[in-house]
Each structure stands twice: as structure tokens, then as C-alpha cells.
Structure 1
Amino acid sequence: MGQSVGIILIEDDDGHATLIERNLRRAGLTNGFTRFADGQQALDYFFNEPSQFMREDLPPTVILLDLKMPRIDGLEVLRRLKADRRTASLPVIVLTTTDDPREIERCYELGCNVYVTKPVEYDAFIEAVRRLGFFLQVVKLPAATR
């Protein structure tokens, strides 16, 4: 199996967040999950002093990011994460219902590593998250520069 990976889930929909975490765990991930319900909470975590994220003992981390959120949307979160040297190397997987080609292109321009469209149908959504869980078990991540 792969290395231990911390997962930061930035998702405003409680139902989606529960399904994502539950099905990643069912896929075999026992890693630490941290969830933020909007972009402002996530940015506070990464950049407000003292930042919990800057601790040295945290495992390599991957971010699962929704785009459509209140207060600060996912595009702005992605832009700020990739613009800061301390967080630029963090892998960001956009996990959203939006399948607009312009939005997909914009996310890759801003530096997202993977773009996954959440299927609307429940069973397809569960299967997509399960496959993402298998991917996260074998992916190799860089250590974050903190």
C-alpha cells in the first residue's frame, strides 16, 4: 500500500462530505480527514497564524476541493493555495458537480492536479469516490514545504 496521506476535504454539502469520507474509508483509507465547510475556513487553516497546517508532524496531504461554496469559492481557494510557496506543491483534486469545459480548463490553469466530476446519480457517485480511494492508496505525494 501507499504512504499515509492526510486528506483535507473542502466541501460545503454535508451529505456529500459524509458520503465522500465514508466511501474513502470503505475503499481502505484509514487516514486522517480534516473537513472545512467553505473556502474561508480552509484558507484560515492554511494561512492564519499560528497555522495548524505548518506543523512538521503532518503526513503528506491531498486536498479534495469542491468549487461551488459560500463565502469563498473553490476557484479562489485553488488560486491562493497554488500562489503561495508553502502550499503550492500540495496536490489538489477538484471534486465537483460542474462539468463545464471552461471551468475545467480554468482549474488546470490555476494548478489543480486532477479534476473529477461528481456524478449526479447516487450509485455512480459512490463508485467514483471508491475509485478515488483506491487511487489515493497508491499515489506518491511530495512532502509539503512548510
Structure 2
Amino acid sequence: MSARASHRMLLADDDPRDVELVQLALAQGGLAVRADVVKDGEGVLAYLYRRGPWREREGGEPALLLLDLKMPGMDGVDVIRALRADAAQRSLPVVVFTSSHHEKDILACQEAGANAYVVKPVDFPDFVETVQTLAHFWLTSNRTVSARQPG
């Protein structure tokens, strides 16, 4: 896939610093990625179902949801459960990208149906490398058969 090909991902994170770091890492990664950003679980659902501020969004569906675990209101586990309960969203790859090392959080995400659970590195170069590796794998190498329909 050429570097000019555009990939779409949805980033759900309530920490503006982490959002900025993810966007910086993607920009440096050599992969053309459009990362739409929401701040909470309700925003994820509004985006995917084209409600509220996302009602008129253009383009197709994201190839990846990079999801923070601890967000206000509907947290990451609740989002995963909602997506896995809907046949139209069930195949969306969900990578939990969080600072939590707690086994109970990892288990809850696995049981809910997350595709991966990645702890955010603290060191900036490691953070950038991790985001770039995730993006390259999930957006260019991973293949799924999708039942999802564009809105």
C-alpha cells in the first residue's frame, strides 16, 4: 500500500496530551492516517453511528479504534461491549491503549472482546514507536471480513 493511501482510524482518549502524542507519532510514521478524535465512549458511538456532531461526517468507516480505557462516563470496556453486541460493528478492530497495568482491566477488556491491550509507554521514543507499530499492523497488514455498512 502506498504512503499516499489514506487510512482512517478513530482515536478515543480524554487526555489532550496523549491525543497530541498519538497524532505526532502517526505524522512521523510515514503512513497517511486520518485520525478522528473523540473524548469519551459516548463520542465513539456518536461517531460510528453518525449521530450528533458526527451526523454529517464524510468518508468511510475507520479501520481501527484506538481506545483509552479510563474515560469519563462510558469507559472503554463499556464501549467494547456495545460494539461487540452490534453485528454491524462487531468486526471493528479495537485496540485498548491505556496506562493501566492492572490484570483486572486486561481481563475485562479481553472478556469484552478487545483485539489487543497495549500499555502506553512512558518514554516518548517508545510511545512513538508503539503507536507507529500499531498503526502499521492494524491499518496495513491486518485483514478482516466486515459486516459493517457505511452510514
TM-score bucket of the superposed structures, by smaller chain: 0.7 to 0.9
CA distance in 1, matches of 2:45, 2:62: 18
CA distance in 1, matches of 2:140, 2:26: 10
**Greater RCO, CA 8 A, separation 6+:** 1
- Equivalent pairs: percent with the same residue? 37
Q: Find the residue that maps to 2:48 and give its secondary structure.
A: helix
Partner of 2:27: 25
- Find 2:38's aligned residue among 36, 40, 48: 36
5+ residue gaps, structure 2, are none
Is the 1:23–1:133 Cα contact (8 Å) retained in structure 2? no
Instruction: Give 1:127 deviation, angstroms.
Output: 2.3
5+ residue gaps, structure 1, are none
Q: Find the residue that maps to 1:8 and give its secondary structure.
A: strand
Q: Count residues in correspondence.
A: 146
Per-residue displacement from partner, 1:50-107 (whole Å, max 9, x unpaired)? 8968x99515521000011112111111110111111011000110011111211111
Is the 2:11–2:67 Cα contact (8 Å) retained in structure 1? yes
Is the 1:60–1:143 Cα contact (8 Å) retained in structure 2? no
CA RMSD of aligned residues (A): 2.7
The answer to whether the aligner puts 1:104 opposite 2:102 as a matched pair is no
CA distance in 2, matches of 1:105, 1:13: 23
Partner of 1:120: 122
TM-score (norm 1): 0.84
Is the 1:11–1:37 Cα contact (8 Å) retained in structure 2? yes
The answer to whether the aligner puts 1:142 opposite 2:134 as a matched pair is no
Is the 1:28–1:133 Cα contact (8 Å) retained in structure 2? no
